Amino acid sequence: MCGIVGYTGKRQAYPVVLKGLKRLEYRGYDSAGVALRNDKGLHIYKKKGRVAEMEEDIVGKDVSATIGIGHTRWATHGEPNDVNAHPHKSNNGKLAMIHNGIIENYAPLKQDLINKGYTFSSDTDTEVLLNFIEDIQKNNHCGLEEALRIALKRIVGAYCILIISEDDPDTIIAARKGSPLVIGIGKGEHFLASDASPIIEYTKEVVYVNDYEVAIVKPDELILKNLGNEKQTPFVTKLDMDLAAIEKGGYEHFMLKEIHEQSDTIFDCLRGRLLPESGQIMMSGIEDNIDMLKNANRIVMVACGTSWHAGLIAEYMIEDLCRIPVEVEYASEFRYRNPIINKGDVIVAISQSGETADTIVALEKAKEQGAFIFGVVNVVGSSIARISHAGAYTHAGPEIGVASTKAFTGQLAVLAMMALKIAKAKGTIADDRYIQLMKDLYNIPDKVKEILADTSNIKKIAEKYKDASDFLFLGRGYNFPVALEGALKLKEISYIHAEGYPAAEMKHGPIALVDETLPVVFVATKDSYYEKIVSNVQEIKARKGQVIAVATQGDTVIPSMSKDVMFVPDTDEVIAPLLSVIPLQLISYYVGVAKGYDVDKPRNLAKSVTVE
């Protein structure tokens, strides 16, 4: 949520910062702005709307500078407009700051500053923090770095901030707590950003800044300190990512590219881990902790959004195969509701970004109470990956479209391997079923490819129903969470109201909504619930609902009862969601496009929700 970029070195900073902001726009797109410093002083340019609108506005202005910071905003405090856009300037005009996060105790600080004569042009908590720093500098007669450290000890909340000063020609001061910050190390230059995507084309050497660290960044020097002013050793890691992964590669949208990448990304996730020939699953995070996992009293899945849906499917997988009780929690509820955590509980954190604020705090809380944390995370080196005791990456590569697609199927692939591995160690799965499921999982990438080979039918269906005002998504068993995910995708991308429900439960309410105008999407693949869902389809048909089905290739019964059908290849029901979700991703995509919406950046959403 909010993207930040900074540069100090020999190059022109503005093009580097601008390109970086375009890469980070998925994190928020309410407004954009840059601050540049040259011999003439600090220059701040900012504008409501997308980065491109800011860029247009800047044409012809003075942008020559070798140090600069930039911000793309997802509004928290103050509506999206030019004034609330970052960067903000301090009252004395000497400091410019950008911020990702929320300062919770900004109100009393603001009142104090107003009493002292400070004025504020925006409604943001950021401007309060900046003037608070200026005030400390003035009162304590100290430098910016020290004033920042004092300020950070007195604020409550989350932040990643970058500050430049008129008095310093080449230093960016940065700090983080709760919101991510990566620093790229070049030759005589440094790059700062919320994630590695703005950095990757310049250098692969990066440092992930930790919570409560302050970074003093000059072209030739990077100093990290804790809030107690003690130097910390920067831990340099090498990025395992290439530029092509963060570009559209000929697709009209990132979302479409990411949907189409899924046969490769699932393959990458399974590669080297799932070995059906030898009956082995190689996952060191599980192997090293197998006793803890197989003897867990219960497993609690903690996640948000689409990742939460992956947790629901994992609940079915693990209870079914491993016979371990599983609970699935919204991180935002779990963190506040005084949950019972006992010794022997395992928390599985599922997150694409690894930076979701609610999930991070929920984990920290569970960790404090002695739980073992296993992370299923996509972004390498992210906060959740680092908080976890052990884990497995999903290896889906950078996901840029705000609505999650390939990260979700990556999560399912990891969770399926995890369930299989624990079941095998625990002896709760028969050998032949274990081997068969491994083979079925191994064949999933090819089956995904088959679905994606021709999507014209799905596009036609999307165009046919694009003007509906509501949709119902129904499924049973493993396909029930898929129905939830289908409804979420449609809401996110096409702004059509949609509900997901267990197909049988719809008789207890949603059936009242059914008439000849309501499209009802059934996720009705051939599984152990098949006969039951056939009856549910009849119930909807009897009330004249427009039945659209996701059905198994070769099935004739469900198609004969449906107005429109999207076929998927057959597979074991445990891993069927890896296939049945794909037509639902595509239908949302095509409805969104048909309605003329920006599917990669849907209104009000952000990819990485770093505020609670």
| 349 DSSP β-pair partners | 302, 375
Q: Which whole-number Å values give the CA distances from 486 to 186, 317, 405, in the listed order?
A: 43, 19, 11
**Near ligand G6P by CB under 6 A: residue from 305, 486, 545, 577:** 305
Which tokens in the block code for residue 75?
Answer: 């509004």
| Count of residues of this chain found to bind ligand G6P when the rule CB under 6 A is applied | 16
SS3 571: coil
State which residue, 438 or 609, has the beta carbon closest to ligand G6P: 609
In the bound complex, what is the minimum distance in angstroms from residue 179's beta carbon to ligand G6P?
13
The yes or no reply on residue 383 touching ligand G6P (CB under 6 A) is: no
Q: Could you tell me whether strands 182-185 and 205-208 are parallel, antiparallel, or unpaired per DSSP bridges? A: antiparallel
CA–CA distance, 590 with 593 (Å, rounded to integer): 5
The yes or no reply on residue 66 touching ligand G6P (CB under 6 A) is: no
Of 90-98, 151-159, 401-409, 533-541, which part binds ligand G6P (CB under 6 A)?
A: 401-409
In the bound complex, what is the minimum distance in angstroms from residue 575's beta carbon to ligand G6P?
20
Instruction: List the catalytic residues.
Output: 2, 607
**Near ligand G6P by CB under 6 A: residue from 486, 593, 607, 610:** 607
State which residue, 305 or 445, has the beta carbon closest to ligand G6P: 305
What's the N-to-C CA distance of the chain in angstroms?
Answer: 10
Ranges of H-type helices in 288-338? 290-294, 305-322, 331-334
State which residue, 26 or 118, has the beta carbon closest to ligand G6P: 26
State which residue, 357 or 548, has the beta carbon closest to ligand G6P: 357
The yes or no reply on residue 599 touching ligand G6P (CB under 6 A) is: no
The yes or no reply on residue 179 touching ligand G6P (CB under 6 A) is: no
DSSP string, 58-94: HTTS----SEEEEEEE--SSS-SSTTTSSPEE-TTS-
Would you put residue 74 in left (φ > 0), alpha (ψ -120 to 50) or beta? Answer: beta
What b/e string do you get for 135-172 counting C-beta neighbours within 10 Å, with b at 16 or more?
A: bbbeeeeeebbebbbbbbeebebbbbbbbbbbebebbb
The yes or no reply on residue 296 touching ligand G6P (CB under 6 A) is: no
Q: Could you tell me whether strands 390-393 and 470-475 are parallel, antiparallel, or unpaired per DSSP bridges? A: unpaired
Each residue 261-290 as x (binds ligand G6P by CB under 6 A) or -, in order, gives ------------------------------
**Near ligand G6P by CB under 6 A: residue from 131, 359, 546, 585:** 359
Of 40-48, 71-79, 240-248, 351-359, which part binds ligand G6P (CB under 6 A)?
A: 351-359
The yes or no reply on residue 415 touching ligand G6P (CB under 6 A) is: no
Cα 229 from chain centroid (whole Å): 33
**Near ligand G6P by CB under 6 A: residue from 54, 371, 533, 609:** 609
Which residue number places its CB atom closest to ligand G6P? 305
**Near ligand G6P by CB under 6 A: residue from 5, 42, 175, 403:** 403
Contact assessment for residue 162 and residue 174, using Cβ atoms and an 8 Å cutoff: yes
State which residue, 257 or 447, has the beta carbon closest to ligand G6P: 257
State which residue, 546 or 585, has the beta carbon closest to ligand G6P: 585
Of 4-12, 115-123, 167-175, 400-408, which part binds ligand G6P (CB under 6 A)?
A: 400-408
State which residue, 404 or 585, has the beta carbon closest to ligand G6P: 404
Of 146-154, 205-213, 332-340, 396-404, which part binds ligand G6P (CB under 6 A)?
A: 396-404
Query: With helix as H, strand as E and coil as C, how does 384-410 read?
Result: HHHHCCEEEECCCCCCCCCCCCHHHHH
Which tokens in the block code for residue 525?
Answer: 């693949």
Residue with tokens 């800047």: 58
The yes or no reply on residue 304 touching ligand G6P (CB under 6 A) is: yes
| 301 DSSP β-pair partners | 328, 348
State which residue, 58 or 313, has the beta carbon closest to ligand G6P: 313
State which residue, 190 or 406, has the beta carbon closest to ligand G6P: 406
Of 426-434, 448-456, 554-562, 600-608, which part binds ligand G6P (CB under 6 A)?
A: 600-608
In the bound complex, what is the minimum distance in angstroms from residue 305's beta carbon to ligand G6P?
3
CA–CA distance, 27 with 43 (Å, rounded to integer): 24
CA atoms within 13 A on the CB side of 375: 28
CA–CA distance, 129 with 144 (Å, rounded to integer): 13
Radius of gyration of the chain (CA): 25
Which tokens in the block code for residue 466?
Answer: 């694009």
Of 130-138, 186-194, 251-259, 298-306, which part binds ligand G6P (CB under 6 A)?
A: 298-306
State which residue, 120 or 330, has the beta carbon closest to ligand G6P: 330
SS3 458: helix
Contacts of residue 232, defined as CB under 8 A and 6 or more positions apart, other chains included, come to: 210, 213, 224, 225, 226
**Near ligand G6P by CB under 6 A: residue from 133, 185, 296, 402:** 402
Contact assessment for residue 293 and residue 286, using Cβ atoms and an 8 Å cutoff: yes
CA–CA distance, 4 with 23 (Å, rounded to integer): 10
In the bound complex, what is the minimum distance in angstroms from residue 497's beta carbon to ligand G6P?
18
The yes or no reply on residue 395 touching ligand G6P (CB under 6 A) is: no
Cα 27 from chain centroid (whole Å): 9
In the bound complex, what is the minimum distance in angstroms from residue 440's beta carbon to ligand G6P?
26
The yes or no reply on residue 328 touching ligand G6P (CB under 6 A) is: no
Of 89-97, 105-113, 190-198, 299-307, which part binds ligand G6P (CB under 6 A)?
A: 299-307
Write out the residues near ligand G6P by the rule CB under 6 A. 304-307, 351-353, 356, 359, 402-404, 605, 607-609
